[in-house]
Amino acid sequence: MPNYWLPIMAVAFAGAIAVWIALVFMADRIIVLGGAHPAQVRKVVQNDLPRPRDYRAPEFLKLVDQLHDIITGSELPDLPAGPAPRDPGFLEPIPPVSAVEIVGLLELLATRGGQEDVFRIAVAANKEFGHVIAVVKAAEMLNFVDTPKSTVILEPLGKRFAQASAEDRKAIWREQLLTLSLFREIHDVLRRQRKHRIDRDFILETIVIRLPQENYEQVFQTLVGWATFGDLFVYDEAKDTVALAGIERHQSST
């Protein structure tokens, strides 16, 4: 019978629903630890769900919610409402998902009353569950959704985006990209350049230095894809350069 030891603070700040789901899927007994030096056993959760386990089954979801409540409800203090302020020096890894997938998530939620269970989203999208989690995380980074327990809820900004015209969507998207450190850093460098253009290698070096644990090519492709969708900056494959979107359009027309 596999046991899983669950440090409260580590899981709480990893966020994560994916961790709890994996635990319920794999473990027969989950031991929740709290405190430090030394840690103490706070709760032992018995998992008697029959195998093979279905992560969409009501009993499975109920146990995920129970685990969530133990960690975030009874063991951790209430957090103030609203997103925590970002450390301006911290660079967030960008989930390797496309802008189209994020938009598709927001549109799906808008058609379902503004919220849906993440498991049902995976079924509706016919996507691997881990990838759906990455799409949800990307939308959350852009402040379009919130994710209490296993529910994904459209934030007011997400609702406004889903109802907006194509041009207004680009403007909202562009504004939200600039709340993310990597996009803001690259954008600031572009603005300081005389021709508002930099080499691809400069961005790759920035990614390697600031996010050494990440696949830099994958991050670059995601960065360019998100930025292009919002007309923030564009990538010229022939010249291997990135330029501010407005500057690129102006130079192409002259």
- Write out pLDDT tens, residues 160-171: 999 999 999 999
For residues 118 and 55, what is the distance between their CA atoms, to the nearest angstrom?
11
Beta bridge partners of 234: 243
For residues 70 and 8, what is the distance between their CA atoms, to the nearest angstrom?
9
Intrachain domains 99-162 and 180-253 with the same fold: yes
36-59: pLDDT as tens digits: 556 567 778 888 999 888 877 888
92 confidence band (pLDDT: 50, 70, 90): confident
Top-tier CATH class for 99-162:
mainly alpha
In the chain, what are the domain boundaries?
3-74, 99-162, 180-253
Top-tier CATH class for 180-253:
mainly alpha
pLDDT of residue 28: 85
Q: Is the pTM of this model over 0.75?
A: no
What number is the average pLDDT over the span 232-252? Answer: 79
For residues 17 and 214, what is the distance between their CA atoms, to the nearest angstrom?
22
| pLDDT above 50 for 150 | yes
For residues 67 and 227, what is the distance between their CA atoms, to the nearest angstrom?
38
| pLDDT above 90 for 18 | no
pLDDT of residue 241: 95
